Amino acid sequence: MRFYEPGKPIEEVARELGFDCLDDIIKVASNENALGPSPLALKAIKNSAKNMHRYPDGDAYYLKRALAEKLDVTPSQILPVNGSNEAIVLLAHVFLGPGKGIIMADRAFVVYKLIALSYQSNVTAVVMKDFTHDLDAMLEAITDETRIIFICNPNNPTSTMVDSKAIDRFMKNVPDNVIVCFDEAYIELMPVEKQPDTLKYVRDNNKNVVILRTFSKSYGLAGLRIGYAIAHEDCINLLNRVRQPFNVNAMAMSAAVAALDDDKYVERTRKLVSRGIVYMTAQLKEMGLDYVPPSANFILVKTGKGREVFSALQKEGVIVRPMDIYGLPDYVRITIGTSSENKKTINAMKSVLHK
Ligand SMILES: *Cc1c(COP(=O)(O)O)cnc(C)c1O
185-240 pLDDT per residue, tens: 999 999 999 999 999 999 999 999 999 999 999 999 999 999 999 999 999 999 99
pLDDT at 313: 97
Task: Please state, rounded to an integer, the average pLDDT across all residues of the chain.
Answer: 96
Share of the chain above pLDDT 70, in %: 99
Cβ–Cβ under 8 Å, residues 212 and 84: yes
Q: Which ligand 1 atom sits closest to the C-alpha of 31? A: 1
81-102 pLDDT per residue, tens: 999 999 999 999 999 999 999 9
Share of the chain above pLDDT 90, in %: 93
Residue of the nearest CA to atom 12 in ligand 1?
Answer: 185
Mutate to test the pocket of ligand 1, among 110, 156, 188 (most ligand atoms within 8 A of CB): 156
Q: Which ligand 1 atom sits closest to the C-alpha of 84? A: 8
Q: Which amino acid appears at position 251 of this protein?
A: M
Mutate to test the pocket of ligand 1, among 183, 228, 326 (most ligand atoms within 8 A of CB): 183
| Distance between CA atoms of residues 196 and 109, nearest Å | 19
Cβ–Cβ under 8 Å, residues 327 and 294: no
245-289 pLDDT per residue, tens: 999 999 999 999 999 999 999 999 999 999 999 999 999 999 999
Residue of the nearest CA to atom 14 in ligand 1?
Answer: 185
Helix (H), strand (E) at residue 210: strand 209-214
Cβ–Cβ under 8 Å, residues 177 and 143: no
Q: What is the CA radius of gyration of the chain?
A: 20
pLDDT at 134: 98
Q: Verify whether ligand 1 is closer than 6 Å to residue 156 (CB atom).
A: yes
26-82 pLDDT per residue, tens: 999 999 999 999 999 999 999 999 999 999 999 999 999 999 999 999 999 999 999
Q: Verify whether ligand 1 is closer than 6 Å to residue 101 (CB atom).
A: no
User: Does 1 have pLDDT greater than 80?
Assistant: no
pTM for the predicted model, two decimal places: 0.97
Geometric angle at alpha carbon 139, from 153 and 103, rounded to 5° = 60
Cβ–Cβ under 8 Å, residues 207 and 174: no
Q: Positive or negative, the Cα torsion across 125, 131, 132, 136?
A: negative
Distance of CA 59 to the CA centre of its chain: 24
Q: Verify whether ligand 1 is closer than 6 Å to residue 84 (CB atom).
A: yes
* For residue 329, cis peptide bond before it (omega within 30 degrees of 0): no
pLDDT at 2: 64
pLDDT at 354: 84
Q: Which ligand 1 atom sits closest to the C-alpha of 225? A: 9
